[in-house]
Structure 1
Amino acid sequence: MTVDAPSAAPAETAAPANRSRWQPWALAVICVAAGALYAWRIGGGQLGNSYYSAAVKSMTGSFSNFLFGSFDPYGVFTVDKPPMSLWPQAISVLVFGFNGWSLLLPQVLEGIAAVFLLHRTVRLWAGENTALLAALILTLTPITVAINRDNNPDTLLVLLLVAAAYAFTRSVQADTSRARTRWLLWCAFFVGCGFVTKMMQAWIVLPGFALAYFVGTSAPVKRRLLDLLGAAGVLIVSSFWWTALHDLWPGSKPYMGGSTDGTALNLIFGYNGFGRIFGGEGNFGPGGGGPRGGDLPGGMELPAGMTPPQGGGGPFGGETGLGRMFSSSVGGQISWLLPLALLVLVAVAVRGIRRKQPGDPARRAGWFAWGSWLLVTGVVFSYARGIWHPYYTTMLAPAIAAICAAGLTGFWREYRQGSGYGWLLLPAAVALTAGWAFVLANRDPSWHGWTRWTVLAVGVVAVVALVLGKLTSVRKAILTRASLVLAVVTVLFVPTVWSTATAATGESMGGMPSAGPGGLGFPGGFGGMRMPGGGREAGMPGMPDAADFPGGMPGGSPDASGFPGGPGGMPGAPGGARKPGGMADFMNGKLTDDQRRVLDYAKQHSGGAEITLAVDGSAMMSSNFIIGSDETVIGMGGFLGSDDSPSVGQLQQWTAEGKLKFVLGGTGGMRMPGMSGGAGEKRQEWIKQHCTTVDPAAYGGKPASAQQEAGPMGGAQTLYQCHA
């Protein structure tokens, strides 16, 4: 565990009076750069994750939908997360209308706020220059750029946890016991808000914060314990108030999506809690039932013969173990400075242990807090056996930024003023970072492969300049400053290119935000998912060839791509072709012509039914109907059809009362192994018994045998008219 360090730690003061005139302007430039990266071309027809985008649109329809985060406008079931991250998006949509800009603008602002607040936090702990470097590192972290251009909950989660770190830092540095307690309670409150954003993931930082507070304050032990108990009380209330509100609500409310009994408490400690860590219900592996809401990009499902990797972690994060953060799926997203951060923690720990005099408690508390944030989160992510996505690693970015910034400024001070061999830490850090950047960039040379040789060359020059600057007296001052600039450039060069390129593409598949090469939002292909044949389609790493699937790609002939509009409809397709009605449109909530005809027919013949259409299939299908129209369209069964909502009893009642007449079923397409469950099968059986097929000719549709582009990744659709 990290402890306070002497010369290896930055020794700047944080007093604003000592700031130079250029420093506030530097912070402003960094925040503007962050805004540019996060906002560039986000309104170009993109709606982020269509699962959450559909929910945002539905939430603007009523207070109940807004409060509980209803996925559909009728309030049948919620998304499988608490709605805190969706509330700002819904408010933005209410003000500016439903479009890509209004959906993603809150994410951009939250990302900029996280950069600014990290600067303020690190400035209190380690000084102004260190804080500026930390803010710059966070801004240029590739996966952070990608996630802040999307509408997943992680952006708000990071902001809230950085706010918690700020409150914690204020607490350990407070001059009075009252201020110390007050700021600690604020810290607990922000972590609780993170819980209402993404449940138990926010709690990962708690052990480190608690330990850091205990060792980082000068208050009596009894007072420390009382403060921690008070913070625990605030944490419980701020974490579970929404859960209690949902589960104890006396009136009508949406079913909790992703749960087995309709309660938020079940979701917290089941699929979205221990299920994420240990696997099990709702996850891949023994007893798993496949992923749920948000686990596949917009609702894609795997075909027969495509299996998740062994060792847990679902199909996206690769094998579990300490190497996961450096793997081909994850490394290019977050690990650029991870070796440097680990080197810093080791150096600080060793120097702290060797010290005979106790260090500053507040400084020590900061190292404990940031170090435990990085290490505990990294270990949890590395060994999570349930559904786990590479973009979760954006939660590591603030800790990496703070540690690396403090370490580099400390190494620089040691380089200039230290005695012995401590000055070698800075050249070693530069060499280590440049070497790892070369490895990461070399994994797919087709994606800005020139950067690997550039960073290697600049790194060598930087290391040589640092060594010469220390060992020679010829123009030492000039050489030393130049070597510092080269060192910083080496550390940040390739991540900057990746982040800028990610923003410049202006494209996102929504469900799986990622930086760097890859298709469909899967970094490096499918993140460890084994696909039959392992070939390439549309020039994308990790995509299968059509020949790998019996009868061709799902939903098509042997030479079909299986994507609506063909492979040219996919972002990144050769030549940049984007066919109307293609995959890019499909992933952004645009209805196909067949779907539009189905909806129009159901509306014209519904006889004023409250529910125009119920869609039995993945959330991708129902979300497109919700986004692409103003009709009351509901999904059935939650994200992948396994939830008991609506139940067969509800369907029977709606039909009897004339509230529902049409059901779109048989969406086919790719499906996860083990996805089908009792509730979904019962609904399908009810449809067969109580509904009759509508002739496609009645609405100008294609016969089922002729449909290739109707469902997600292909598959036929059947419109049913139901009777009491």
Structure 2
Amino acid sequence: MTTLAPAVRRTRVRPALPLLLTATGVLYVWGLGASGWANAYYSAAAQAGAASWKALLFGATDAAGGITIDKTPASVWVMGLSARLFGVNTWSILVPQALMGVATVWLLYAAVRRVAGEWAALVAGVVLALTPVAVLMFRFNNPDALLVLLLTAGAYATVRAIEDGRTRWLVLAGACVGFGFLTKMLQAFLVLPGFGIAYVVGAKRRRILGLATALGSMVVAGGWWVLLVSLWPAADRPYIGGSQDNSVLELTFGYNGFGRLTGDEVGSVGGGAGGTWGSTGWGRLLSGEMAGGIAWLLPAAVVLLGGGLWATWRRDPAFHSLVLWGGWFVVTGAVFSYMNGIIHPYYTVALAPALAAVVGIGGVVLWRRGFVGCAVVSGAVALTALETYLLLDSVVLLVIGLVAAGLVLLVERNLAVVGLAVVVALAGPGVYSFETAAAAHTGAIPSAGPANQAFGGPGGGGGPTGARGGGMGGLLDAPSVGADLANLLADSGDHTWAAATVGSNNAAGYQLASGRPVLAVGGFNGTDPYPTLAEFQEMVRSGQIRYFVGDGGMSGTATGGSDAGAQIAEWVAASFTSSTVSGVTVYDLTS
């Protein structure tokens, strides 16, 4: 292995790791309580899991086990267990994500340090910690935080497997990706080309056997839950949210699978190829809300990846890592750029570890390769200065950045100059990250930075006009529940569900406010065929549901989804007398 830094430098840098992790923890935890329940949809599922082991196992959105979230439930397992230990509150639900962020930075540092030295590891760790979309998602309770942690752990295990070929590292790498599948389904598999090619190129022996071992571990780690759900009697478990036929396989390959690529997502809120998710192409990551979260160092990462592969071609352990992280970066970036189905800006957090690793490894390796390498680094710094100008419109940062780029080229291998370049390159994303941490974030679609143009505020979740499903909530955010309504639901008596309402976010708001199970008719979008009108009528006749809240309103017929929710709302309105509680329409189904 090529010596990358003198021992004295290695000793001087090492104390920076505790400082990096401490600063990252403070950034990710500071003011966390301001976001309240954050994504109430997942908070309600954690609340349900804290009350019922069965609800926790399946990822049900209520403790009575009516319907599941529209993802595999690994992230709910973490939050639900935390809520069992520390009570159902903001901190017990959000702090695990912050700790995942610190752990991800540490694992990235450890993986990069093994192949490129401590300076590269430190740069990579700082870049990841200050990537705005990472700050956003490690302070939020969507599944993405756990997904990124697991994939980074898988990358670390692959680096170790390339080093010594031990089976335990291959098993761990496969298990991490498998549990990534249990967090966010097929998205976890986007790293596999990078992992696989890096292992084939870098491993010294038993390559085919090693790949088979990792694949088997991945299938076991990710497949056991799918098998369990498939074999469990459907009548004795929650309905699989997001599917049209109560099938986890249909959810995996349809709504959350190939439908995301083609746009053909039955029951989606967009509908049709192209949908409402913006134009495709590489420019998607560099424009709009995605840009503020991830674009700052994207051009530099592309340049440093190409230059780093050239500088280390087949002769340096850093080459194998650049193949690994670069494969993750390129494949995930391409899918996000060209997919026609549902995509949100916060998805780009899955790019953050790979981008950070490429910048750290590529930048340091090239800086040590003489004039040509420094020229590539200089170009990357100049591109970052330009991208920062385009995003922040700051002439000052542009000028300083270009000056730093020139100095990197002219003053070869000078630590002070490189330090200036790094500080300038991180100034833009750093400011955006602190703005992100200072803002409260709620709803289904949070966005990094000080403002969210598409969804009305830094927290996101305002939702498209008219996408309401009852009460004061909607498709993308939970309702604000008045005290009178919360007390009414809390004192609803001995019923399986205190209430039912169309849409999971509406149900989550009422459930979190009252502490009682609320049935989400139609699942997240209100377009799932559960319960059917006949099933709901039987629930009412048998006294399982006390109230129906809201006027309905979400229907999936335009996108091929079920309109059972609309049918139920119409039947309730025609069959029961309404009253108004805390400004919300309520029907007593026992009257």
Per the normalisation by structure 1, the TM-score is: 0.75
Q: Is the 8 A contact 2:407 2:417 kept in 1?
A: yes
What pairs up with 1:573-588 in 2 under 5 angstroms? none
User: Take 1:426 and 1:237, find their aligned partners in 2: how far apart are those partners?
Assistant: 43
- The one-character-per-residue Cα deviations of 1:610-664 (angstroms, maximum 9, x if unpaired) are 332222x222221111100122322211112221222334323323323234322
Partner residue in 2 for 1:609: 495
User: Take 2:397 and 2:355, find their aligned partners in 1: how far apart are those partners?
Assistant: 20
What pairs up with 1:246-257 in 2 under 5 angstroms? 246-250=229-233, 252-257=236-241
- 3-state SS of paired residue (1:273): helix
1:643 to 528, 531, 535: 528
User: Take 2:325 and 2:237, find their aligned partners in 1: how far apart are those partners?
Assistant: 40
Q: Report the CA distance between 1:312 and its aligned residue.
A: 2.1
Partner residue in 2 for 1:465: 407
What pairs up with 1:407-422 in 2 under 5 angstroms? 407-414=362-369, 418=370, 421-422=372-373
Whichever residue aligns with residue 481 of structure 2, its letter is L
What pairs up with 1:376-391 in 2 under 5 angstroms? 376-391=331-346
Partner residue in 2 for 1:423: 374
Partner residue in 1 for 2:417: 483
Q: Report the CA distance between 1:51 and its aligned residue.
A: 0.5
- The one-character-per-residue Cα deviations of 1:578-610 (angstroms, maximum 9, x if unpaired) are xxxxx99x957641256337536xx45x6x333
What pairs up with 1:675-686 in 2 under 5 angstroms? 677-684=562-569, 686=571
User: Take 2:444 and 2:550, find their aligned partners in 1: how far apart are those partners?
Assistant: 23
Q: Is the 8 A contact 1:314 1:388 kept in 2?
A: no
- The one-character-per-residue Cα deviations of 1:296-354 (angstroms, maximum 9, x if unpaired) are xxxxxxxxxxxx69972644xx31112111112211110111101100122234456xx
Whichever residue aligns with residue 693 of structure 1, its letter is T
Partner residue in 1 for 2:177: 191
Is 1:321 the counterpart of 2:276 in the alignment? no
Distance 1:660 1:46, change over 3 A: closer
User: Take 2:417 and 2:555, find their aligned partners in 1: how far apart are those partners?
Assistant: 54
Whichever residue aligns with residue 254 of structure 1, its letter is P
Partner residue in 1 for 2:109: 119
Q: Is the 8 A contact 1:611 1:659 kept in 2?
A: yes
Per the normalisation by structure 2, the TM-score is: 0.91
User: Take 2:115 and 2:458, find their aligned partners in 1: how far apart are those partners?
Assistant: 48
What pairs up with 1:230-269 in 2 under 5 angstroms? 230-250=213-233, 252-269=236-253
Q: Is the 8 A contact 1:46 1:588 kept in 2?
A: no
Choose between structure 1 and 2: higher helix proportion.
Answer: 2
- The one-character-per-residue Cα deviations of 1:478-531 (angstroms, maximum 9, x if unpaired) are xx33322211112111111110121123x1124222211433xxxx425xxxxx
User: Take 1:127 and 1:167, find their aligned partners in 2: how far apart are those partners?
Assistant: 17
Is 1:312 the counterpart of 2:196 in the alignment? no
Q: Is the 8 A contact 2:56 2:77 kept in 1?
A: yes
What pairs up with 1:73-472 in 2 under 5 angstroms? 73-174=63-164, 177=165, 179=166, 181-219=167-205, 223-250=206-233, 252-282=236-266, 289-291=267-269, 312=274, 314-315=276-277, 318-351=278-311, 358-360=314-316, 362-414=317-369, 418=370, 421-442=372-393, 452-470=394-412
Q: Is the 8 A contact 2:552 2:565 kept in 1?
A: no
Distance 1:264 1:483, change over 3 A: same
- 3-state SS of paired residue (1:614): strand
User: Take 2:542 and 2:454, find their aligned partners in 1: how far apart are those partners?
Assistant: 48
Partner residue in 2 for 1:448: none
Whichever residue aligns with residue 482 of structure 2, its letter is T
Whichever residue aligns with residue 489 of structure 1, its letter is V
Whichever residue aligns with residue 216 of structure 1, its letter is G
- The one-character-per-residue Cα deviations of 1:432-460 (angstroms, maximum 9, x if unpaired) are 11111111113xxxxxxxxx223113213
User: Take 2:352 and 2:189, find their aligned partners in 1: how far apart are those partners?
Assistant: 16
1:514 to 447, 460, 478: 447
Gaps of 5+ in 1: 1-9, 283-288, 292-307, 443-451, 471-476, 527-536, 556-561, 565-582, 711-716
Query: Higher RCO, 1 or 2 (CA under 8 Å, sep at least 6)?
Result: 1
User: Take 2:350 and 2:289, find their aligned partners in 1: how far apart are those partners?
Assistant: 16
Distance 1:142 1:189, change over 3 A: same
Distance 1:260 1:676, change over 3 A: closer
Partner residue in 2 for 1:301: none
Distance 1:671 1:257, change over 3 A: closer
Is 1:599 the counterpart of 2:582 in the alignment? no
Q: Is the 8 A contact 2:547 2:586 kept in 1?
A: no
- 3-state SS of paired residue (1:255): coil
Greater radius of gyration (CA): 1
User: Take 2:487 and 2:558, find their aligned partners in 1: how far apart are those partners?
Assistant: 31
Partner residue in 2 for 1:495: 429
User: Take 1:540 and 1:112, find their aligned partners in 2: how far apart are those partners?
Assistant: 22
Q: Report the CA distance between 1:172 and its aligned residue.
A: 0.5
Partner residue in 2 for 1:719: 587
User: Take 1:94 and 1:543, find their aligned partners in 2: how far apart are those partners?
Assistant: 30
Partner residue in 1 for 2:548: 663
User: Take 2:555 and 2:537, find their aligned partners in 1: how far apart are those partners?
Assistant: 29
2:509 to 618, 624, 629: 624
Q: Report the CA distance between 1:684 and its aligned residue.
A: 3.7
Please tell me the root mean square deviation across aligned C-alpha atoms, in Å: 3.2
- 3-state SS of paired residue (1:312): coil
Gaps of 5+ in 2: none
- The one-character-per-residue Cα deviations of 1:358-386 (angstroms, maximum 9, x if unpaired) are 514x4332121111100000001111111
Q: Is the 8 A contact 1:665 1:720 kept in 2?
A: no
Whichever residue aligns with residue 630 of structure 1, its letter is G
Whichever residue aligns with residue 489 of structure 2, its letter is L
User: Take 1:128 and 1:613, find their aligned partners in 2: how far apart are those partners?
Assistant: 56
Partner residue in 2 for 1:572: none
Distance 1:97 1:486, change over 3 A: same
User: Take 1:540 and 1:406, find their aligned partners in 2: how far apart are those partners?
Assistant: 34
- 3-state SS of paired residue (1:719): strand
2:23 to 16, 27, 33: 33
- The one-character-per-residue Cα deviations of 1:129-151 (angstroms, maximum 9, x if unpaired) are 11111111100000000011100
Percent of counterpart pairs with the same letter? Answer: 38
- The one-character-per-residue Cα deviations of 1:181-240 (angstroms, maximum 9, x if unpaired) are 331121111100100000000000112211211111121xxx311221222222111111
